[in-house]
């Protein structure tokens, strides 16, 4: 149809958004936020056997200022919640969050006053990863699902438009704290 | 050497013993010269070249889990396609994380999901809470609930992590007919548990699941006819002409 068919072989066409998404997803540096047993599996994922460096996630950054992705691994106590939010705020945009394990996703089996019932009460979560703790393959699967999400992200005006739409949808939706049944 | 702290004094006392435990004495006995020391480190690197590669190539090659790995749940069926779940809620009671929600309902002859009296009308597992411990599987009296080896459960919303009955229910084999359908002719509940039923009876047809919002064929036709305002039309292929 377009210019693609007239090009000689060996040329690859892409959009700026696609290229930016490809570059971004290929170097997502995680910030460590290991809080409990899930952190052990997260360390295993970073070590030689599962080797997250294969996906461009070379090292876990100790400083949030150098990180793009926060992997919240473990139950978040009420006392840890402001710390978690501060680390998230210190990360530069664009940034993403994976809530690793059931405790980070929803409070898990700790349905009590000491544990935050899901980190999405504090920070926006991109990928929820169930499991107690999830095996390293499950974390890699979550990371790959996040990669495909990053690949499809918008830039510039479109990004602002998408953010505005997401905000409107979030304002219309029932707050997590008011949800009933299994969603709570 | 001047001794400043008691710790240094202790060390020197041990060193004067002359039994080789002193670290400085051990370093003197090192056979390697100062030139060889950095090169010797590469011995580890060199020997690693002949070792088998440890890294798993996960998304391309998925290493099978242990056969009894606790993965995603599955609601099983009897060999003829009727559901094994009887809606007793024992799994929900056993669950330490309160991740399972069950609502039972009564079977009728027009709409039969399981061989016995009751069936699980609503069955939900919240994977945002489930810790995959398997206590629900131990509690299940009919082996309706078992676990598969699927572990790729990550998703982007909380709501999509709540798996409903149609996602959890096992697939159909060739001998099965999808529920709801009539019980095997002449059989009762106990025959199913004795393993005497090995497949659906010939001519078994799926009943209309009114409980799931499906409409009976004749009811659909009447509605459509009323909407069209032409009672004598034959344009409805599924409708019975009266």
Judge contact between B100 and B135, C-beta under 8 A. Answer: no
Residue B75 scores a pLDDT above 90: yes
Report if residue B98 sits inside a domain: yes
Mean pLDDT of B167-181: 89
Residue A144 to residue B126, Cβ atoms within 8 A: no
Taking each helix axis from N to C end, the angle separating A16-25 and A136-151, rounded to the nearest 10 degrees, works out to 160
User: What was the pLDDT predicted at B73?
Assistant: 93
Report if residue B167 sits inside a domain: yes
What CATH number is given to the structural domain containing B175?
A: 3.30.70.3270
User: What was the pLDDT predicted at B218?
Assistant: 66
Tell me: do B117 and B18 sit in the same domain. Answer: no
Mean pLDDT of A18-28: 87
Tell me: do B29 and B121 sit in the same domain. Answer: no
User: What was the pLDDT predicted at B84?
Assistant: 92
User: What was the pLDDT predicted at B72?
Assistant: 92
Give the total residue count for chain A: 184
**Least confidently predicted of A19-28, A68-77, B38-47, B189-198:** B38-47
User: What was the pLDDT predicted at B224?
Assistant: 53
User: What was the pLDDT predicted at A34?
Assistant: 87
pTM of this structure = 0.77
Mean pLDDT of A145-152: 90
Mean pLDDT of A61-85: 91
Beta bridge partners of A34: A73
In this predicted model, what pLDDT tens digit does every residue of B5-48 receive, in sequence order? 444 444 444 444 444 444 454 555 666 677 777 777 788 888 88
Report if residue B232 sits inside a domain: no
Tell me: do B81 and B189 sit in the same domain. Answer: yes
- For residue A69, give the nearest of A54, A44, A88 by alpha carbon: A88
- Using 50, 70 and 90 to split pLDDT, how confident is the model at B91? very high
Report if residue B220 sits inside a domain: no
The boundaries of the domain holding residue B22 are 10-41
Residue B93 scores a pLDDT above 90: yes
Tell me: do B19 and B88 sit in the same domain. Answer: no
Enumerate the residues of chain B whose CB falls inside 8 A of the CB of residue A107. Answer: 129
Tell me: do B36 and B93 sit in the same domain. Answer: no
Mean model confidence pLDDT for chain B: 79
User: What was the pLDDT predicted at B85?
Assistant: 92
**Least confidently predicted of A131-145, B187-201, B219-233:** B219-233
Tell me: do B101 and B169 sit in the same domain. Answer: yes
Enumerate the residues of chain B whose CB falls inside 8 A of the CB of residue A132. Answer: 130-133
Tell me: do B21 and B83 sit in the same domain. Answer: no
Judge contact between B87 and B122, C-beta under 8 A. Answer: no
User: What was the pLDDT predicted at A16?
Assistant: 80
Mean pLDDT of B85-103: 91
Please report, for residues A25, A65, A124, the alpha-carbon distance to residue A158 in angstroms, rounded to integers and kept in the order given.
Answer: 19, 26, 20
Nearest CB neighbour to B97, from listed A109, A118, A149: A109
Tell me: do B34 and B80 sit in the same domain. Answer: no
Tell me: do B29 and B87 sit in the same domain. Answer: no
Sign of CA dihedral A104, A137, A42, A28: negative
Residue A182 to residue B126, Cβ atoms within 8 A: yes
Domain boundary among B156, B173, B193: B193
Mean pLDDT of B97-116: 90
Residue B74 scores a pLDDT above 90: yes
Tell me: do B105 and B14 sit in the same domain. Answer: no
The count of structural domains within chain B is 2
Tell me: do B189 and B80 sit in the same domain. Answer: yes
State how far residue B170 is from chain A, nearest Cα, in angstroms: 21
Residue B98 to residue A111, Cβ atoms within 8 A: yes
Residue B94 scores a pLDDT above 90: yes
Secondary structure of A38-98 in the HEC alphabet? HHHHHHHHHCCCCCHHHHCCCCCECCHHHCCEEEEECCCECCCHHHHHHHHHHCCCCCEEE
Report if residue B210 sits inside a domain: no
- Using 50, 70 and 90 to split pLDDT, how confident is the model at B58? confident
3-state DSSP assignment of residue B132: coil
- Which tokens sit at B55? 């890294």
B161 vs A163: CA distance, rounded Å: 23
Report if residue B112 sits inside a domain: yes
Report if residue B163 sits inside a domain: yes
Mean pLDDT of B75-97: 92
Tell me: do B82 and B161 sit in the same domain. Answer: yes
Mean model confidence pLDDT for chain A: 86
Report if residue B199 sits inside a domain: no
Beta bridge partners of B125: B100, B163
State how far residue A5 is from chain B, nearest Cα, in angstroms: 31
Interface of A with B in 77-106 (CB under 8 A): 102, 105-106
User: What was the pLDDT predicted at A176?
Assistant: 64
């Amino acid at each position: 149809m377009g210019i693609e068919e007239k090009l000689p072989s060996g040329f690859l066409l892409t959009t700026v958004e696609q290229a930016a998404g490809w570059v971004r997803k290929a170097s997502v540096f995680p910030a460590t936020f290991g809080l409990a047993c899930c952190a052990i599996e997260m360390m295993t994922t970073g070590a030689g056997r599962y080797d997250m460096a294969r996906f461009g996630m070379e090292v876990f950054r100790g400083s949030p200022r150098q990180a793009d992705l926060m992997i919240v691994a473990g139950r978040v106590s009420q006392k840890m919640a402001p710390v978690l939010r501060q680390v998230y705020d210190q990360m530069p945009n664009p940034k993403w969050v994976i809530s690793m394990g059931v405790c980070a996703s929803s409070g898990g089996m700790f349905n009590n006053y000491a544990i935050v019932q899901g980190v999405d009460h504090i920070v926006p979560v991109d990928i929820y990863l169930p499991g107690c703790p999830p095996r390293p393959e499950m974390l890699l699967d979550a990371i790959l699902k996040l990669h495909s999400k990053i690949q499809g992200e918008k830039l510039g005006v479109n990004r602002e438009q998408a953010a505005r739409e997401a905000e409107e949808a979030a304002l219309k939706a029932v707050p997590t704290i008011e949800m009933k049944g299994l969603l709570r | 050497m001047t001794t400043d702290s008691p710790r240094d004094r202790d060390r020197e006392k041990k060193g004067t013993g002359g039994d080789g435990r002193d670290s400085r004495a051990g370093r003197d006995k090192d056979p390697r010269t100062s030139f060889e020391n950095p090169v010797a480190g590469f011995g580890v690197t060199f020997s690693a070249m002949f070792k088998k590669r440890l890294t798993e190539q996960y998304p391309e090659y998925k290493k099978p889990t242990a056969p009894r790995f606790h993965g995603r749940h599955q609601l099983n069926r009897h060999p003829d396609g009727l559901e094994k779940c009887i809606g007793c809620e024992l799994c929900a009671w056993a669950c330490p994380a309160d991740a399972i929600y069950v609502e039972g309902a009564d079977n009728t002859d027009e709409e039969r999901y399981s061989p016995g009296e009751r069936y699980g009308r609503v069955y939900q597992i919240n994977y945002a809470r489930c810790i995959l411990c398997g206590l629900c599987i131990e509690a299940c009296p009919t082996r309706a609930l078992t676990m598969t080896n699927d572990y790729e459960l990550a998703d982007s919303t909380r709501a999509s992590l709540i798996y409903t009955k149609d996602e959890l229910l096992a697939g159909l084999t060739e001998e099965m007919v999808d529920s709801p359908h009539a019980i095997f002719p002449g059989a009762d509940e106990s025959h199913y548990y004795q393993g005497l039923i090995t497949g659906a009876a010939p001519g078994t047809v799926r009943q209309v699941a009114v409980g799931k919002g499906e409409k009976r064929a004749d009811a659909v036709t009447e509605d459509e006819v009323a909407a069209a305002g032409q009672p004598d039309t034959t344009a409805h292929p599924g409708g019975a002409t009266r």
